[in-house]
């Protein structure tokens, strides 16, 4: 019997359609015999990818990423998944598999290792180098061993037999994962695209087709570009476009791209060398990736082709190519500092050409436009990607390439992942076009459990807690939502501190309260308002101190009297911080009484 699940019935996002079979015991789980598939992160969002497959006393984890915060998460460096379920069940974890080396797939590893004891991580070659660098920076080099895997590797446990296949993405050594379980086969594609003329290793079409022929129960597939029609252009086409631009550029050329796109970086460097230019690289992440790329053999450029910032003034302009970070308008990245004139070595001079070998990530358009305007104002000729120039190509499969993956793997059930909710829905519709039944498309949220039983799948009634953890600095314990809320209030309405001096011996206010404002009102123009506020607090405290009271009650009295007054006058709710100063003699008397009571 087919049943449409609605948001009002579950309180969770609407699932496309799902089949309820009478023998599933109302979608309950048998944790001894069923295989469970769930996402700790990565569903309904672009980031913090972490997918788990569990059977009895074994858990396999695929990827461990971070999500970069939106602007409203003030002061937050990363968002990571809530690892509490995995912490409670860490004795079951048998393998952490990494598909590739992007931050949304490996960035959470240092935080995860602080919560969970893990013996080893399995990662492809380039991702392995990035992870080891990351663990070294976090002083966790000895916490876990990183084992290199490739398309021919195997990882075996009591219940799982795991294999891999090569895919193409915007970073070298990307893998898809095949997991053989007691209840069927699972394929997780990782991030992928199909490029018939790639730079580097090609996708293993033969192995994917073979996997599809032997039968796949459940496919989890990258949904990032599920609304983008057609096919993506080849990385070779981008390389040719960049080479042509370098040849045509008369003066200095600055190229900004994603630091993680090693193949693109290699193509830029090779094109610059072919055009008899020396290369300077700026940006910490770009420098790290260049170092790792040269160690792994993904970048083969001789030392003599590189120059430092101090050498820029020793060469003619047409002999220089600068590669830097900042293609997304990040305020502290190299290109932003170059644009606003604060870079240590490099300033824009009229006649410079700046090439953006990237597209703005959704949400970054305003920041990128601001940097472009600054560069143009300084006299640079700014060249961006467009359908006519082809300076960038995506690393994620558009619709036609998603169809190719679906036709190669031929899954019985389909669970789109790595995407916002709309992307998951659109990918599900694409799967139906290729022949996956509508009722076999499972649109899930983080924490939903897909149960595999005898090569059939359904979504269980149980869920796993998957709250987002906000990381400020390196503290993996995270910040509470109340802290984020306080930061938002401070940003919107500012702060008001109320300083009150009392003598607790006589329950008396010694002088009228003093109010200090930061980010709330301009003090010079608001003296009348602040004087009125002081009187409101003073009157409230006098009434309160006519009877015995406590410091906590006095603070509550200040807030409860001042907050409504300020909102009435300004229609704003600043954070009110009461500061109560007690007479020195009164403090001495309190300390003496406390010491006597202890004695």
- List pLDDT tens digits, range 300-342: 999 999 999 999 989 999 999 999 999 998 888 999 999 999 9
Q: Which residues are catalytic?
A: 222, 396
Domain 2-230+394-466, what fold?
Metallo-beta-lactamase; Chain A (3.60.15)
What does the alpha-carbon distance between residue 38 and residue 415 come to, in Å, rounded to a whole number? 10
pLDDT of residue 588: 74
The backbone region for 515, taken as left when phi is positive above 0, alpha when psi lies in -120 to 50, beta otherwise, is beta
Residue 266 has pLDDT above 90, yes or no: yes
Closest CA to 538 of 564, 573, 507, 513: 513
**481-598: CATH, from 3.60.150.10, 3.10.20.580, 3.20.20.80, 3.10.20.30:** 3.10.20.580
* Number of Cα atoms under 13 Å in the Cβ half of residue 341: 6
Residue 24 has pLDDT above 50, yes or no: no
**Four-residue CA torsion sign, 57, 62, 64, 66:** negative
Q: Are 281 and 323 in contact (CB under 8 A)?
A: yes
Return all residues near 20 (Cβ < 8 A) that are at least 6 apart: 1, 3, 27, 458
Please state the length of the chain: 599
Closest CA to 22 of 575, 327, 456, 447: 456
Residue 205 has pLDDT above 60, yes or no: yes
pLDDT of residue 109: 96
Mention the CATH class of domain 235-383: alpha beta
Q: Where are the domains of the chain?
A: 2-230+394-466, 235-383, 481-598
Q: What are phi and psi of 324, to 5 degrees?
A: -145, 165
pLDDT of residue 2: 38
Reported pTM: 0.80
Max CA pair span of the chain: 88
Comparing 2-230+394-466 with 235-383, is the CATH topology the same?
no
Mean per-residue pLDDT of the chain: 88
What are the C-alpha distances in Å from 559 to residues 454, 496, 555, 556, 580?
61, 10, 6, 5, 13
Element holding 115 (H helix, E strand):
helix 109-115
What does the alpha-carbon distance between residue 25 and residue 29 come to, in Å, rounded to a whole number? 9
pLDDT of residue 599: 61
| Window from 141-150, 320-329, 469-478, 518-527 with minimum mean pLDDT | 469-478
């Amino acid at each position: 019997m087919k049943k449409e699940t609605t948001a009002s019935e579950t309180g969770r996002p609407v699932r496309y359609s799902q089949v309820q079979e009478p023998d599933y015991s109302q979608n309950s789980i048998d944790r001894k015999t069923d295989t469970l598939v769930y996402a700790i992160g990565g569903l309904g969002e672009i980031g913090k990818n972490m997918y788990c497959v569990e059977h009895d006393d074994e858990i396999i984890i695929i990827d461990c990423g971070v999500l970069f915060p939106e602007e409203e998460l003030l002061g937050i460096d990363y968002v990571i998944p809530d690892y509490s379920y995995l912490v409670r069940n860490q004795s079951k974890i048998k393998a952490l598999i990494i598909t590739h080396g992007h931050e949304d797939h490996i960035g959470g590893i240092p935080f995860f290792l602080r919560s969970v004891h893990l013996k080893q991580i399995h990662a492809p070659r380039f991702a392995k180098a990035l992870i080891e660098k990351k663990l070294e920076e976090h002083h966790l080099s000895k916490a876990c061993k990183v084992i290199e895997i490739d398309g021919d590797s195997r990882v075996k446990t009591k219940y799982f037999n795991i294999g891999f296949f090569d895919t193409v993405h915007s970073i070298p050594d990307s893998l898809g994962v095949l997991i053989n379980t007691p209840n069927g086969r699972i394929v997780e594609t990782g991030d992928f695209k199909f490029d018939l003329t790639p730079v580097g290793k090609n996708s293993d079409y033969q192995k994917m087709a073979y996997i599809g022929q032997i039968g796949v129960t459940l496919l989890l597939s990258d949904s990032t570009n599920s609304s983008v029609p057609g096919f993506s252009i080849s990385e070779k086409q981008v390389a040719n476009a960049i080479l042509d631009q370098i040849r045509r550029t008369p003066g200095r050329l600055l190229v900004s791209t994603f630091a993680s796109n090693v193949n693109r970086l290699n193509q830029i460097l090779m094109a610059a060398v072919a055009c008899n230019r020396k290369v300077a690289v700026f940006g910490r992440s770009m420098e790290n990736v260049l170092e790792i790329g040269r160690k792994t053999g993904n970048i083969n450029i001789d030392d003599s082709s590189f120059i430092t910032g101090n050498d820029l003034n020793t060469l003619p302009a047409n002999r220089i190519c600068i590669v830097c970070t900042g293609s997304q308008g990040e305020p502290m990245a190299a290109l932003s500092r170059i644009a606003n004139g604060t870079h240590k070595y490099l300033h824009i001079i009229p006649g410079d050409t700046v090439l953006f070998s990237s597209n703005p990530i959704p949400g970054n358009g305003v920041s990128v436009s601001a940097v472009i305007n600054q560069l143009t104002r300084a006299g640079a000729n700014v060249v961006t990607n467009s359908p006519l120039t082809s300076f960038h190509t995506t690393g994620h499969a558009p619709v036609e390439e998603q169809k190719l993956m679906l036709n190669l793997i031929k899954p019985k059930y389909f669970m789109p992942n790595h995407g916002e909710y709309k992307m998951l829905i659109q990918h599900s519709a694409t799967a139906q076009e290729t022949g996956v039944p509508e009722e076999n498309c499972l649109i899930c949220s983080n924490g939903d459990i897909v149960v595999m039983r005898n090569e059939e799948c359904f979504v269980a009634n149980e869920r796993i807690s998957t709250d987002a953890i906000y990381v400020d600095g390196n503290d993996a314990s995270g910040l509470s939502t109340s802290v984020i809320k306080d930061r938002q209030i401070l940003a919107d309405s500012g702060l008001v501190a109320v300083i009150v001096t009392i003598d607790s011996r006589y329950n008396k206010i010694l002088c009228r309260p003093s109010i200090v404002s930061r980010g709330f009102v301009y003090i010079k123009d608001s003296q009348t308002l602040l004087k009125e506020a002081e009187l409101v607090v003073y009157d409230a405290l006098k009434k309160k101190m006519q009877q015995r009271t406590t410091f906590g009650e006095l603070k509550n009295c200040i807030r409860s009297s001042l907050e409504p007054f300020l909102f009435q006058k300004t229609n704003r709710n600043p954070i009110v911080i009461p500061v109560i100063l007690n007479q020195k003699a009164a403090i001495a008397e309190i300390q003496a009484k406390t010491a006597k009571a202890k004695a």
